[in-house]
Every structure is written in structure tokens, then in C-alpha cells.
Chain A
Amino acid sequence: AQKVTQAQTEISVVEKEDVTLDCVYETRDTTYYLFWYKQPPSGELVFLIRRNSFDEQNEISGRYSWNFQKSTSSFNFTITASQVVDSAVYFCALSSNTGNQFYFGTGTSLTVIP
């Protein structure tokens, strides 16, 4: 079975703090893809990053970084020096080549307090 778990339902941090959003996935496929999306209060869904199962290299994009560890089936997302504009719901998602299915986690609502 395919599944994505985001155990943190809501997180609040004070501006400039670092915050890590956890994502744990389950899949039996050897080839799969992991994604993060951001949904700000305005409601649209914005793509942040894609990772395939063969690329465990961590990635940094400005204040955002992602840590992919196959050994723990995790794909965590860290925001450094958080800003109020980072306040949003963040979704982790999983897909595989079999069945063209996508599985989203339940999302983590991040509030950055000024």
C-alpha cells in the first residue's frame, strides 16, 4: 500500500526560527517520486520540489532545504529563518509508475508569528 504520513498537524514558530516539517512515506515500488507543495491562505497549490527514489542527494533552495533518507522512508522539509510569508499548509506527496496514482499527506499547517 502507498501512504504518506505527515504527523505534525499544526506548527507555530516565531519569525526567524528554523522549522522542519516531517514526511514519512510507505511504498513497495522501487521507483517512486516524492513532492512537496505549498498551499498559502489564498488557496492555490504551489509546487516546491520533486525527488525520485534513486536520488538521495539533499537539496537546498534559498531558505528551503530537503532531506531525503530512504533508510527511514522520510523526506523532510526545513525552512531556515522563517518568515511570515511562509505561513501555509505544506503537503508531501508520493507517486509511482504503477497505476499513475498520487498520494498526498494530510498536510502540516505552519504559522509563522511576527
Chain B
Amino acid sequence: DTAVSQTPKYLVTQMGNDKSIKCEQNLGHDTMYWYKQDSKKFLKIMFSYNNKELIINETVPNRFSPKSPDKAHLNLHINSLELGDSAVYFCASSRGSLDSSSYEQYFGPGTRLTVT
């Protein structure tokens, strides 16, 4: 069974479009995350979210928004895509809620987004 899954695996789109990446976890975790990994493999957290709190990395443009229909899902919606948004986006989840930073994270397989 896949613990953290993401769809699609690859996403190619044009500048200015709006797109969404879906993430689901079946681990029963309370907190989910989105990360961006650039071409140099640098990993940066974008959001962490549980049913009590959304923490946004201040460097993330407001074109990016997480949407959580329920505890097992955290989708990433991106408006007005730009060339610089091209990257691999990883979803992750962990135990805990307000103390989730004390636990390890389990990552999805990643979504490679290419903006042309």
C-alpha cells in the first residue's frame, strides 16, 4: 500500500495557467506538508497544515494555496504559473499536530512540474 501518494507524477503546462497537484496519505497522520525541490536539489518547505493550523513559509508567493478537503488530503493549487515554478513538488505527512515537528516525515513520490 502506498503511504503518501501524489498525482500527477509529471505535469507540463504553459505560463499563466492554473494547475493543481493532489496528495493523499493513508498513514492516519495529522499533519501534511508541501515542499519544493529546485533543479539544484534544494528542498524548501512551503506549507505545513493540520486541522488546527496552517503555517506558510513567508517566501511562498500567494499564487500557491493549499487546500485540504479532509485530514488525509492536502492539495496544492497554483495560479498564474511562472517559469520559475518549474520544480519537483513533494507532499509529506507526519504524526502529531502542534508537535508535529518532533516527528519524521514520510514523503510522496514527487510531482515534476514543467512550465513552458
- Please classify the interface of chain B as helix (H, G, I), strand (E, B), loop, or mixed, using the class held by over half of its residues: mixed
Tally A residues with Cβ within 8 Å of B.
Answer: 24
CB distance from B47 to the nearest CB of A (A): 10
Which of A52, A95, A107 meets B41, CB within 8 Å?
A107
Tally B residues with Cβ within 8 Å of A.
Answer: 27
The answer to whether B104 and A35 touch across the interface, beta carbons within 8 angstroms, is yes
The answer to whether A97 and B101 touch across the interface, beta carbons within 8 angstroms, is yes
B90 contact set on A, CB distance < 8 A: 45
The answer to whether B104 and A50 touch across the interface, beta carbons within 8 angstroms, is yes
The answer to whether A47 and B104 touch across the interface, beta carbons within 8 angstroms, is yes
- Please classify the interface of chain A as helix (H, G, I), strand (E, B), loop, or mixed, using the class held by over half of its residues: strand
13 CB < 8 A contacts A-B: A33-B101, A43-B109, A43-B110, A44-B109, A45-B110, A47-B105, A97-B101, A100-B53, A100-B55, A100-B98, A102-B45, A104-B45, A106-B41
